[in-house]
Chain A
């Protein structure tokens, strides 16, 4: 029935027209696309920094950039990727677009706040770019005291950027919680919500609980620089380890702001492309909350060698192992969903499978690092770098790309090249492993992270890693080319190209401005593939 509607409905992309209608839009779909633009720009920027870092590390000694520039490069790579790309990535871009559609709603609860959060994001990004211009920060993205109090680089404008971006994140989270509570379709009870919505909900809770602490931390850091207030600066009687407590009270939960929505996407993808009801719906839904809760109790594992008390370190180490439980629940449920499903290896599913492999490696190496005695050896080595890239890039970025490829036809009404997208996944997967698996080995051999120079014995592995970054870069380049190509030359997509059951696939691609002709009524669960035969409308 939806095919007939496609022809005569006006898409949100084409109406109303003009730049102004985009800059002042209150439509969550347009705001999602504005976010997508900002996020992709940041991703490319951060990626260029990463490529430069890898190129510099191809051989020991100074090659490409000076040592100070190198310090600024890795700081900017971290800060841009974390604050501008990966934290807003899934929720603000994909979530904004998809959430109201999944709930059968016309918009998020507070459309103006939603637009405001995008503008705040842009202002924050502008501060970050300004700090690039005025002597880029060289503290690492963590801004640890006392160095961040002493360095002459523009710490204040970068911390201000992160502070402002925090508000953007809080507003998105607040908006999502209220939307999920108040704007669900008639008949859509909590346990009939798609798992992506559950994941966004858990994410939003962390966003509103943790981000204010980042705000006050960065404010105090700025005050410390300006007035020497003596809370974090040891020269003034402060305690630098206290800064780390403050910082990680936000930044550890923030890791789950990054990964949880990715996990939500994977739940969608695995079920849809296995054409099978998700295994353990409630377990997956509640494990998101388990992760959110535990995430607030483990921050001290970033500080095992910082001078934190041994007793606190033991408590934090023990609690860290608990994270493995909900994460394991999710992975096993996804595997069980695939078991005896009829799996179609479309591009989004290939990303989901990459996620499963890479996230499992990233998660398990996290257990190594959470163990107190092992961490003393591995702390601040490339092992840590490899671990969090496996979780952040192998996990979140893979899920983000999977989600992007999954909802791309819905967003723009166009299908991308199946062949080129599969070539691109293969290159990204191979390139990623070449780049970062070598870093696990480097780390165990004792290569410290963030070093500009290194001993000759590490050269082969560093070179291996750098070559991997080129493969990875090529994969992303191909992806950008075919995605942009699809916008202009892609085949038109029907409303439901993948044969999925959630609300967003019942409306035309791209959807009309207010999403649905009539408020939809829920008649079946989001994954009832056993009860309902869905037709793929490519």
Chain B
């Protein structure tokens, strides 16, 4: 435990490494900007996000020391990303597959929909009025 602790506290990375990672990040930024002017259709997002993921990994692994630190931190980081993925994917299960089983299609709700007809300021503004209706 103590040998390990000494190693953790005193893990100093060489200057070269920081500069190299910083350089790689800037090169990747240039690449992603350049690629965005080409047209791959739907693949543009995939390319852009892949490059962003590589950049984020570089930051996490070297600048945030995840490569060298206690692997528990890496685990926490991965858990965060996984649960975010669950949030996105499960929500989009719904939003991308609506109206697929029945013929009835939901239309968009517009400002002239029924629920917007009565002005809320008139009805719920005065408590006494609305109760007198009930009585």
Contact = CB atoms under 8 A, between A and B. Distances in A.
A219 B111 CA distance: 23
B120 A309 contact: no
Interface residues of A, number: 37
Given A209-B83, A296-B83, A245 B91 contact: yes
A315 B83 contact: no
A297 B95 CA distance: 16
Contact of A152 (B79, B83, B115, B121): B121
B124 A310 contact: no
A249 interface: yes
A152 B94 contact: no
B37 interface: no
Contacts of A234: 108-110, 113
Range of interface residues on B (Cβ < 8 Å): 35 or more
Given A150-B120, A209-B83, A309 B99 contact: yes
Given A150-B120, A296-B83, A312 B90 contact: yes
Nearest to A210: B83
A67 B127 CA distance: 9
Question: Which one of B91, B111, B135 has the greatest number of beta carbons of chain A within 10 Å?
Answer: B91
Contact of A312 (B94, B102, B128, B130): B94
B9 to A, nearest CB: 15
B91 A242 contact: yes
B90 A235 contact: no
A311 B97 contact: yes
A297 B90 contact: yes
A69 B87 contact: no
A66 interface: yes
A328 interface: no
Top 9 A-B residue pairs of the complex, sorted by shortest distance between their CB atoms: A66-B131, A234-B109, A312-B94, A309-B97, A309-B98, A312-B93, A310-B101, A311-B97, A235-B111
Contact of B100 (A138, A242, A311): A311
A153 B87 CA distance: 31
A213 interface: yes
Contacts of B42: none
A528 interface: no
Contact of A213 (B87, B121, B128): B87
B99 A66 contact: no
A151 interface: yes
B43 interface: no
Contact of B131 (A62, A235, A300, A315): A62
Contact of B86 (A152, A296, A452): A296
A235 B113 contact: yes
A309 B108 contact: no
A68 B110 contact: no
Contact of A241 (B72, B87, B94, B110): B94
A210 to B, nearest CB: 8
B106 interface: yes
Contacts of B134: 62, 66-67, 452-453
Contacts of A309: 93-100
Contacts of B128: 66
Given A67-B134, A234-B108, A453-B134, A300 B79 contact: no
Contacts of A150: 116, 120
Contacts of B90: 245, 297, 299-300, 312, 315-316
A66 B132 CA distance: 9
Contacts of B113: 234-235
B71 to A, nearest CB: 13
Contacts of B72: 181
B127 A69 contact: yes
Given A67-B130, A309-B98, A312-B93, A62 B135 contact: yes
A146 interface: yes
B98 A68 contact: no
A452 B133 CA distance: 13
A307 B110 CA distance: 16
Interface in A311-327: 311-312, 315-316
B41 interface: no
B14 interface: no
Contacts of B130: 66-68
B131 A239 contact: no
A447 to B, nearest CB: 18
A303 B128 CA distance: 34
A308 interface: yes
